[in-house]
Amino acid sequence: MNSNASLVYPAVLGVLLLLCLGLAEATVPPELRLSSFATGLNNPLAISSPGDGSGRMFVVERGGSIRIVDAAGVLLETPYYSRSVDSEDMERGLLGLAFDPDFASNGTLYIVYTGKGSNGEILHRLVASDPASNIFSGTDAEIMRVPLFYNHNGGDIHFGPDNYLYWSTGSGTGSFDPEDLAQNLWKKSVSNNDYFLMGKVLRLDVRTPTKSAAANMCGASRGKRAAYSIPAGNPYADTEDACAEIWLYGLRNPWRFSIDRDNGDLWIGDVGEGKWEEVNRYASSETSNRNFGYPQCEGNHPGRPSGEGSSCATTHGSKNS
């Protein structure tokens, strides 16, 4: 598999594969079999460890709550944290959770949720007054937000080994992204450049605020204070005509992703438009070809029904493995 690759397969084959795995369960070693972790949760979407040695696991419920499963495997009745979110559509709600690498000492964690009305998708910082407590008490503040469409919202967040926060955003809009938001990095003719943060993976230094935002910080107001800064290694950090927050682009709905803790590689689950689904890998050692091709392509297959993207196998980073 190359450094910027996609494993792409028809959705129906994925279902058949799962069925085959179920039939073969008797031959799977016990340590590899699935077992129940916790019950009584309502629409759980994500699970994360605070890394504080407590043995607790924090579970995100789409309706707006974070629940704790303690070290004994017991789901605590009172939520750790709750807030009002827009969860009317199945792709909206409280979507992501990430703990600061030093949560045990600084009590800091981050969430992503869809705001009510037209408030967008919001990255929020929480700072617990007591990191060991099972009920949150402390301060909270908005970091930044991106526009929100009906669906294709992404919304996953993780810290990498570099201590920067990675945030996946969906392309939104209609079928095969008619506005090309997933491909556009910048348009000076558009007043709201935050639209070009959609269909991307963003990389942010949320530990370091900015006193005066640069013109290419598309999630902040130029010259104003921002609650984050741009890592020096971001590909468009010093580019006048691209959003500095962008790490990867050309994605439809990167609903969930993971970061290899040993080497920093990103593994991205990108929800497909029709019969294709993608599992994308981007190696941390890669310094070019950050484009995964959507909407012109889905993996190395043409995307838009018009036939645009017929050369996807050779012109984009997303390829079969």
Structure tokens at 84: 């009002």
pLDDT at residue 213 in the model: 96
pLDDT at 318: 41
CATH annotation of 4-9+42-315: 2.120.10.30
Tell me which residues of the chain have a pLDDT lower than 70.
1-26, 118, 188-192, 306-311, 313-321
Sign of the Cα torsion 87, 12, 258, 271 reads negative
> pLDDT digits over 49-87, tens only?
999 999 999 999 999 999 999 999 999 999 999 999 988
Burial 29-58 (b: 16+ CB within 10 A, else e): eeeeeeeeebeebeeebbebebeeeeebbb
Q: How far is CA 26 from CA 22, 23, 30, 202, in A?
A: 9, 8, 9, 42
Rounded distance, CA 153 to CA 56, Å? 28
Rounded Cα distance between 86 and 114, Å, is: 5
Whether the model clears a pTM of 0.85, i.e. scores above it, the answer is yes
Report the relative pairing of strands 121-128 and 108-114 from DSSP bridges. antiparallel
pLDDT for res 162: 95
Rama region for 163: left / alpha / beta (φ>0; ψ in -120 to 50; rest) = left
Q: Are 319 and 2 in contact (CB under 8 A)?
A: yes
CA distances from 289 to 2, 218, 233, 276, 321 (A): 12, 21, 15, 21, 17
Residue type, 134: N
Of 91, 276, 290, 279, the C-alpha closest to 172 is: 91
